[in-house]
Amino acid sequence: MRYVPRLDLSGHKSRELVFPGDFLGDGRPLMPTLYAYSDGSRTYSAVIGIPQPTRTVIPLNAKYLPKRDDIVIGIIEDVQPVFWLLNLNSPYPGVLHANETPWEVGFGETGKYLNIGDAVIAKIQAVDETRRVFVTMKDTRARKLTSGTLFFFPASKVARILGKGGSMVSMIKQKTGTSILVGQNGVVWVRGHPIATMIVGEALDIISRYSHLVGLTELVSKYIDKRMSELKDLFK
């Protein structure tokens, strides 16, 4: 049975939200976006989200759309003689060719290195005009992930999970003693004590659910302290 956190939200105001069709400002968006549109010289929101000074919107819920050079966490969902197909928490799977790994993979030997269900850190190498996505592990940050637990969230929540300058995820790691990696596609890898990993999952769920609140870091910090205290005997 899933644990449902009980939170005291008093004193935590909601950030300003906009809805589809809401006016964002005069002029076009100051950066490319899929979440706002222009009508003449005026810009409007295309989604429910948090408005930005750039006349764009951070959506409250959005699928991951792969972009070149993004660092992502992918899960192997198919193995072919010379490539693997990765689930990227996106409508578009990623193709990892054997030549784009740090290993010398012979024809038909792909299964010796990565199998269905394995997770890897990889980089988006290219996205073509038909939305085919190609990934590479020829990057210093790329590697196969062993052990650990994966959590999946909308990619639009990544900024809040990380926090300003990495403050949120650093706080969670410090309080729970876990290792955490956050892919830009909304997949989060956590390794640590099983109880600590569970608490991290609960904290991440709070961030995802209440990403629109002001003072979210304080809310999550107090929640983790409370849960670590409640379950301290299970760490022995």
At 158-168, the pLDDT tens digits run 989 999 899 99
Q: Rounded to the nearest 10 degrees, what angle do helices 194-209 and 167-176 cross at?
A: 150
Q: Do residues 141 and 101 make contact, with C-beta atoms less than 8 angstroms apart?
A: no
- d(Cα 193, Cα 190) in Å, to the nearest integer? 10
Residue 211, pLDDT score: 83
Tell me the domains of the chain and their CATH numbers.
23-59 (no CATH), 71-145 (2.40.50.140), 149-235 (3.30.1370.10)
Residue 1, pLDDT score: 41
Segments of the chain with pLDDT less than 50: 1-2
Residue 22, pLDDT score: 86
Give 16's DSSP letter.
Answer: P
- CB proximity list for 40: less than 8 A, separation 6 or greater: none
Sign of the Cα pseudo-torsion (101, 103, 109, 115, in order): negative
Residue 156, pLDDT score: 87
What predicted TM-score, i.e. pTM, was given to this entire model?
A: 0.81
Q: Do residues 180 and 188 make contact, with C-beta atoms less than 8 angstroms apart?
A: yes
